[in-house]
Amino acid sequence: MLVDNPILNSPFEEPTRYWDYEEGQPVIKDGRRPAGYYLKARTAGPQTAMLEEEFVPLDLVNKIRERMRDWRERGYPGVTPITRQLLNHWNRPDRERKLFFCQREAAETLIWLVEAPPAEKQGITIPKDNGLTRYACKMATGSGKTVVMGMVIAWQVLNKLANPQLRQFSDAVLLVCPNLTIRERLQVLLPWKPGNYYEKFDLVPRGLLERLQQGRFEITNWHLFQLQDDSRSRSVVQRGVESDTAFCRRVLKELGNKQNILVINDEAHHAYRPAPLSDEVKEQLSEEEIKEREEATVWVSGLDRINAVRRINFCADFSATPFYIKGSGYQEGTPFPWVVSDFGLVDAIESGIVKIPRVPVDDNTGMLIPKYFRLWETINQALPASERQTARRRAKPESVLREAEGALVTLASEWKKTFDEFQKCRSPVPPVMIVVCDNTDLSKLVHEHIARGKVLRELENGQNGEVTFRIDTKLLAEAEAAREGETRAEAAERLRKVVDTIGKLEWEGEGDPPGKHIRCVVSVGMLNEGWDAQNVTQILGLRAFTSQLLCEQVVGRGLRRLNYDDFSEPEYVDVYGVPFEVIPVRKKPVNRTEIAKVSTLVRALPQRKHLEITFPRVEGFVVDVRTRIRLSLDGLPYLQIDPGSEPTEVTVKPAVGYRIGRPDRLGPGPEVIHDRNPFHREKRLQATVYEIAAELTRRLKEKREEWNARHILFPQVLNIVWQYLEERVVVKQDAPPEEVTLLKYKERIVERLTAAIEPDTESGEPPILPVIERFRPIGSTAEVLFRTVRPCVGTSKSHISHVVLDAPKWEHSAAYQLERMPEVIAYARNDHLDFTIPYEWHGFRHEYRPDYLIRWRRNDGTEVKVILEIKGFETEQDRQKEIAAQRWIRAVNHHGEFGCWRFVVCKDPAGLERVLRDACR
């Protein structure tokens, strides 16, 4: 029987059950999930791609777990009296505030490594990091690792103060973190601070807090580890690059001259020693990866200097993802070799400690992978080649927003339902939706779209105040990199304070926290590590996720629970566009055999000059509408509102257990249906029609002096829009007609009608005319000259020597038939011919390149030129090209100086002869 609740274990006891998948079926297994990680090795051959799945156990962690369990059951033999007092205090069954098992286990692991008798640790070897002793505790975001840091500090400092001669303990603590946000959050680890965690979580027995305050503490971010160099200053005295001793004096001011330091690295996946890379590999790294390597180098080099001068007792590393990343020089996705404790995200989910990510598992598009699961990949594939993201350029922000709007408004509609629930419960803070963007240009556009009320009025800035907020990572970096004594930019400081107080009811300033009422955060990259808002309920990823580590870090921003009273009640965060599988990815090298191919020279043959085809180069159109317009719907393609293109319903389900491959409906937890109903209720069809009509009227009368004619044209345009919607818009699978409100559909209607509306010549309006290029008015087959390795066939009825076959079966069939038709005087494949037809698609100008140009002799001996397109499956963009081609034909034929033209679409090459004869009568 399937269990609806994915939570299997108590957060206060060692896990005894876990979810697993056998042949795709979810099963509950007894015992504790073995520590380990998944590698998905990708290999590719010339024809096929093969996926190999591999579970790699963390043998060291599993071995320590077994020894630890036995040691725990025997009462922790070998520990000092202070340690035993702390362990008894943490494990006391009558504690008012119980500690999670994962917190106790992480602290106990470090204690065991330091205090357990040598016989207990026989066979346990933890590799050093260039002489540094490091112990990494892997703890899921939201599982309380800051509390564990407090437990470790109390254990070390109280033991050292009680027994100063014991060198395995330290009373000088250096906490290192990656940013200012975490640095301020870690202030709770200073035992004299109000609200410190030792009191809040009852980490030390009564009477020991004052003793703990005698330790020395310093909290810093790694930026302080940058070596100072005054050799380029204008000072009279120049000391050059600071020595290791001077470095320690500057960095460790709060620790005085203390030796044998305990170092705690928070978010320690940034603190690794990059492996050397070849110049060739370095050139392939992104700016982000290069920056990460540099930061890691600064961090770990600073630790080396401290160890050389003051000696580091050991480093306690804490991270949810202590894995090597791409660009580190190590195999991507492999864990640091000094990981000694593991309580990952799946374990935290099964224990009810964190929210459960709920991801799309199905939708009504019919696609194998739900569209909103790998959203960025889907968006990029949908974009024209000129707008698509590549290694050298970013995708056009307007195009990304257009393709992502369906996911955005669906998730926002789900946020609205959550918002209404929060309102009913009189929650002092609203739910928060996060949109994680690829770059600042995209985040700015998305922020404007949401903040101007284009999605939901509850997310509109204005009467609501600033509820949709954009975070600029450049300003945050400026704030965090500022050294002591330097003034941070006020804008960056304000930004940071707003972000840091999202969802908070209290802060150190006066009045409400500046981020208390924020409902939507639009960010670049991912929000700062250490950002611990508990009211995140929706996350949308609009960026590439190159590894599962990135996925887990982004999802981690929404994992903190709202309610810590009843852990058996699951809480969820809805996640679109973050293809979260909990599995790091390992890529294997791809072996490809390059086959030398013979090139063919394709050129215009001088001896076939009589078969030359010329054409006008049209760069635009003159449309001089004064008072009357017309539109014939007969030749206008239908617009399909199809859930197969943009889902109108999405089924989401909790992501529980380790699952490899596509998401599906199998597994624990209830299914939930997401739709866009709240969005549709706000965006009425009539208002959308008026918006479309207004934009079309503006395009027809853009000149200011002609604005007076708009009131005459607008009613005509409005009627045309309604007529088009009623007669040419096809709604499939019961999709609501309000779907036309989405940008992608509105843009198609505007572009389609812009190309189809004409002056009413019967009422005296001047006809549409072409704008011919000034310096290259005429194109010709005589200009063709290129080499290709693509398959080719020779010609006899063409000015050009060969027809290049991109789709060999169809194009060869067409060329064969054109060669044998008696009416064909000459033909040419439009390859390197530079014959294009301008058209608009998704708000941008594009160029349509039809397949063939033909000179055709009619029965009366006159000649007509034919533009031929051979088409199988038609897309909406193909239909827009057809409208543009028909407009080109009308304009050129009205001009009268370039002959008579026809446009023909053939959907079956076998019937090409019949189609051409019907069109050219």
Predicted local distance difference test score (pLDDT) of residue 595:
31
pLDDT at 589: 30
Q: Lowest-confidence range among 619-623, 702-706, 789-793?
A: 702-706
* Backbone phi and psi for residue 375, each to the nearest 5 degrees, phi listed first: -65, -45
The string of pLDDT tens digits covering residues 534-593 is 899 999 999 887 666 677 778 888 888 888 888 888 888 999 988 866 433 222 232 333
Q: Among 433, 430, 399, 428, which residue's Cα sits nearest to residue 415?
A: 433
| CATH code for the domain defined by 59-350 | 3.40.50
**What are 359's two structure tokens?**
């991801």
pLDDT score for 658: 65
Whether 440 has a pLDDT exceeding 90, the answer reads: no
Q: Would you place residue 705 in the very low, low, confident or very high pLDDT band (cuts 50, 70, 90)? A: very low
Exposed, middle or buried, 782 (CB in 10 Å: 0-12/13-18/19+)?
middle
> What proportion of the chain, given as a percentage, has pLDDT over 70?
88
Q: How many Å apart are CA 40 and CA 866, to the nearest integer?
A: 53
Higher-scoring residue by pLDDT: 592, 811: 811
C-alpha dist (Å) from residue 651 to 349, 363, 575, 692: 20, 6, 12, 32
Rounded Cα distance between 724 and 746, Å, is: 12
Domains 59-350 and 360-581 agree in fold: yes
Highest mean pLDDT among 53-62, 333-342, 489-498: 333-342
The top-scoring range by mean pLDDT among 20-24, 169-173, 184-188, 633-637 is 169-173
Is the per-residue pLDDT at 758 higher than 70? Answer: yes
Q: DSSP letters of 484-502?
A: TTSPPPHHHHHHHHHHHTT
pLDDT over 90 percentage in the chain: 43
H/E stretch holding 745 reads helix 743-756
Confidence of residue 52 (pLDDT cuts 50, 70, 90): very low
What element of type H or E holds 25? strand 25-30
Q: Is 235 exposed, middle or buried (0-12, 13-18, 19+ CB in 10 A)?
A: exposed
pLDDT of residue 552: 75
Summarize pLDDT for 474-486 with one digit per residue, the tens.
Answer: 656 665 555 555 5
**Encoded amino acid at 202, one letter:** D
pLDDT score at 131: 92
The residue among 78 and 810 whose pLDDT is bigger is 78
Band (pLDDT 50/70/90 cuts) for residue 216 is very high
Q: State whether residue 845 is helix, strand or coil.
A: strand
Count of CA atoms in the C-beta half-sphere (13 A) of 741? 25
d(CA 622, CA 148): 72
Whether residue 51 has pLDDT greater than 60: no
Note the CATH architecture for domain 360-581: 3-Layer(aba) Sandwich (3.40)
* pLDDT band for position 911 (cuts 50, 70, 90): confident
- List all residues 6 or more positions away from 675 whose beta carbon is below 8 Å from its beta carbon: 410, 413, 648, 649, 650
pLDDT tens per residue, range 185-197: 899 999 999 989 9
Domain boundaries, the chain: 59-350, 360-581, 601-621+771-919
Other residues' Cβ atoms within 10 Å of the Cβ of residue 343:
26
What confidence tier does 108 reach under pLDDT thresholds 50, 70, 90? very high
| Cβ contact 534:142 at 8 Å | no
Strands 769-772 and 618-622: antiparallel
> pLDDT at residue 529 above 70?
no
Over residues 599-617, mean pLDDT:
92
Q: Which CATH code, of 3.30.67, 3.40.50, 1.20.1330, 3.40.1350, is assigned to 601-621+771-919?
A: 3.40.1350
- Strand segments (E) across 750-879: 758-759, 769-772, 778-780, 785-788, 792-794, 802-804, 824-829, 837-841, 844-848, 852-857, 863-870
Per the CB < 8 A criterion, the answer to whether 871 and 907 are in contact is yes
pLDDT of residue 762: 78
- Across all residues in the chain, what is the average pLDDT? 84
pLDDT score recorded for residue 391? 67
| pLDDT above 50: residue 42 | no
Segment among 387-391, 564-568, 583-587, 610-614 with least mean pLDDT:
583-587
